[in-house]
Structure 1
């Protein structure tokens, strides 16, 4: 009896798993769920914990064992998506940035979006000039420590906080001046709203950068924002396509294509290369979801999309949530008393005993110690978070897609307090992370993409961002091939070896694609012939009295075929079968 009870309890434990979700304020929500529970169940638990109704802007992000980041799909089992052993560790993040944060119905939603955008500012995803950076940081100070008080805030108090990957003493003084003089009297919710209003005007608002290379081999970041598709290089936005202009998103292996129509006769195809096929598929799925959310009028218009149109090749994916317009309409129907918001006080990045602080939940994104029952070697160590942008794999120098991540990537989210120091040193070593008027200026965002022929993909003869008419495509292909040959002559021997290896790998990959396409064509042809044979048998042998079949049987052509060809062939097959049956019986 005791053994049966023990075995049943062990089986019940096997059906359960622990989940830890790191929230936007760096606190942790831990729960136990059934192993076959779907993502929607966990997401609803978190939203109930936060008292959040406008939840369609948010999502849960996780990292698989290969360090590739994903958005948790709510319609699928959690355990099958995680591909790792329990306990599972994930992060709650803003998945779809509201185009107008002021239009959000509830203050709790605006506060969570504020935490996300503040995190983006700290990790360098929200690029801005010095003047804008000072105002944004001052709004954060006002929202989280209140009005300036000489008794609590001594000289140089703003230098104790880290708002950006790197900033100067001049910027710190400017932040303090704005906080002291221009923001007095603003309540936390007013400061947060003003912060969001300023942030949404920046070009990189809502950017979730995916590292790639363009056809010339130059590092770039692709991102999907509330307003369209964006490409950034060297802290500049070099391409921007509105969602209404984007007609198709497609990927094959590591190659990602964006098709767009900017004018009636001006078609554009942008081609980029992800670090690996998994990252490229994640990029494609993010693009499909963002386009459906921001572009469509109703969720009923959502269709299943395929990564390729060649027979059955490629991945299929369907966005399953509401679209932005439906979310706004549903939010307008919310009628309840505003929920209480427990805002956290700021914690300085360096020691500052003169300042009074709240709980250790900081506007500078730093991670709390993990829950007691979570293994030290698992969980948040694998996130290397904010868990918001696509990670870079650990690759050799020759294969690195971004030796210097620039201002766009999370160096770390300081999974432990000790790793925060390493994150700061990595950020400080990167000069492009400096907030300054020279580092980033929105007026510089119209620079063209460097022109070069794509040697890794013979199909990508077009130029990134150039119109794709047939005449221009041919002339551009010739010009770019000459440029590529000149570049190869001037390249170093090591680069030649690397390009030869990559070209050989791409040739093998193209050959495999061709063989698979031929096999698919053969299988489809066999299937069509089999279907025609079944239709022929139905016409000749069945007694189905269907108007469609009856009309075909009455045609002279079918009558001739039936009596001159089909009947003799049937008698011949019947004779052969009887002959073979006689041989078997005689033996």
Structure 2
């Protein structure tokens, strides 16, 4: 039995080696796409193909994510796709998602497609309560989400009940109040009606401007232990590293902004954060899972790089993209 199974596995791997192509399904926040890829392709070859298909040029924010056991991983750009721990069944399913978040969406996001994908991803995280959102902000965000979908409010078209099938508020917010679905719709519609004069794209940007001020926006959390063995959470985001109590993801115990960190080193499951100020204590913590440690390192390096990039003059490519976006928007306004 064992030898038959081994022979079957060996045959499958032989078939893959002999095949010149393999199929991949890419799930974006809006739709799925399928591609035929060459077996020799590296992560970057596939990633570039997806970005071209989407017409996306702000590639530095995004990545291709997949699940490995009970954690997530991001496709490495410099390594062959098939040499990574991607799912083995074809089509291989990968998720095209924002890996890094902007500090200021309005200043940083240039293309409409970039903004739209962020909007959809952040909205999903808020509705699934991965980002905590207070009730008042939830209603306001819901009204901008409605505007982004339905366009300008028109009382003749948008009659009571038009939001009956929409998921617009986190369940936690709905459960806080003894309000019917009709009452919630009335509140959201009243806000929606005040947004007259905005385009759908502008509604999405207003949504992101509110969302980016929420405490859990853009933070990746990881369970860690300090030198004393105390359970804590590490938060990695656009601004730096944050240490939280396990039961409070909203307010960090302490923070290390990127511009105040001299060095982050990692050795044998132990991370060391060395602040620029030598009078400030070095912070050490342990994370026992290798895959999670690799992910923490990736997010630290990527977020730090973007933090520094934001504080330099825009590259020629970004300047050209911004000029092109301004021209397109001006044409749309005239049209």
Report the CA distance shift for 1:67/1:131 in structure 2 as closer, same or farther (over 3 A).
same
Paired residue for 1:205?
217
* Greater relative contact order (Cα < 8 A, sep 6+): 1
- For the pair 1:99 / 2:103, whether they are aligned, the reply is yes
Please give the per-residue CA displacement for 1:86-120, whole angstroms capped at 9, x wherever unaligned.
Answer: 42211111122122211222222211221222122
C-alpha contact (below 8 Å) 2:142/2:188 kept by paired residues: no
Call closer, same or farther: CA 1:33–1:175 in 2, change over 3 Å.
farther
Give the alignment's TM-score, normalised by structure 2.
Answer: 0.77
Task: Give the match for residue 240 of structure 1.
Answer: 255
Cα displacement string for residues 390-438 of structure 1 (whole angstroms, at most 9, x for unaligned residues): xxxxxxxxxxxxxxxxxxxxxxxxxxxxxxxxxxxxxxxxxxxxxxxxx
Q: Contact 1:137–1:175 at 8 Å: present in 2 too?
A: no
Give the match's secondary structure for 2:296: helix
Alpha carbons 2:215, 2:250 under 8 Å: kept: no
CA distance in 1, matches of 2:55, 2:104: 22
TM-score (norm: length of structure 1): 0.46
Shift of 1:277: 2.5
| Contact 2:119-2:208 within 8 A present in 1 as well | yes
Q: Distance in 1 between matches of 2:315 and 2:236?
A: 20
Distance 1:278 1:106, change over 3 A: closer
For the aligned residue pairs, the C-alpha RMSD in angstroms reads 3.0
Distance 2:117 2:29 in 1: 7
Q: Distance in 2 between matches of 1:217 and 1:113?
A: 37
Q: Return the alpha-carbon distance in structure 2 between the equivalents of residues 152 and 231 of structure 1.
A: 46
| Partner deviation per Cα, 1:510-541 (whole Å, 9 max, x = no partner) | xxxxxxxxxxxxxxxxxxxxxxxxxxxxxxxx
Equivalent residue runs for 1:153-192 within 5 Å:
153-154=159-160, 157=163, 160-168=166-174, 170=177, 172=184, 175-192=187-204
- Name the counterpart of 2:300: 287
Pair 1:80 & 2:95 matched: no
Q: Which residue of 2 aligns with 1:377?
A: none
**Matched position secondary structure for 2:281:** strand
Matched-pair contact (CA < 8 Å) for 1:260–1:268: yes
SS in 2 for 1:69: strand
Contact 1:141 1:179 in 2 (8 A): no
Show the counterpart of 2:279.
266
Change in 2 beyond 3 A, CA 1:256/1:134: farther
Distance in 2, matches of 1:168 and 1:18, equals 42
- CA drift of 1:30 comes to 0.8
Aligned to 2:207: 195
Identify the residue that residue 249 of structure 1 maps to in structure 2: 264
Contact between 1:106 and 1:338, CA under 8 Å: does it hold in 2?
Answer: no
Q: Distance in 1 between matches of 2:53 and 2:77?
A: 18
Consecutive unaligned residues in structure 2, runs of 5 or more: 1-14, 330-335
Structure with more strand by fraction? 2
Secondary structure in 2 aligned to 1:119? helix
Unaligned runs of 5+ in 1: 1-9, 298-322, 340-587
Distance change in 2, residues 1:20/1:155 (3 Å): closer
Does the aligned pair in 1 maintain the 2:24–2:36 contact within 8 Å?
A: yes
Aligned positions of 1:298-337 closer than 5 A: 325=312, 329-334=316-321, 335=324
Give the secondary-structure state (helix, strand or coil) at the position aligned to 1:82: coil
Asked if 1:31 is matched to 2:49, the reply is no
The structure whose Rg is larger is 1
> Aligned partners of 1:223, 1:201: CA distance in 2, in Å?
16
Provide the C-alpha distance between the structure 2 equivalents of 1:229 and 1:204, rounded to a whole number of angstroms: 13
Query: What secondary structure sits across from 2:265 in the alignment?
Result: strand
Structure 1 residues 37-75: Cα deviation after superposition (integer angstroms, max 9, x where no partner)? 0111111111111111222211111223x3432111111
C-alpha deviation, 1:129, in angstroms: 2.4
| Alignment: residue pair count | 300
Please state how far the C-alpha of 1:84 moved relative to its aligned partner.
4.5
Quick one: which of 62, 65, 68 aligns to 2:66? Answer: 62
Give the match's secondary structure for 2:295: helix
CA 1:195 to 1:250, structure 2 compared with 1: closer, same or farther past 3 Å? Answer: same
1:212 shift after superposition:
3.1
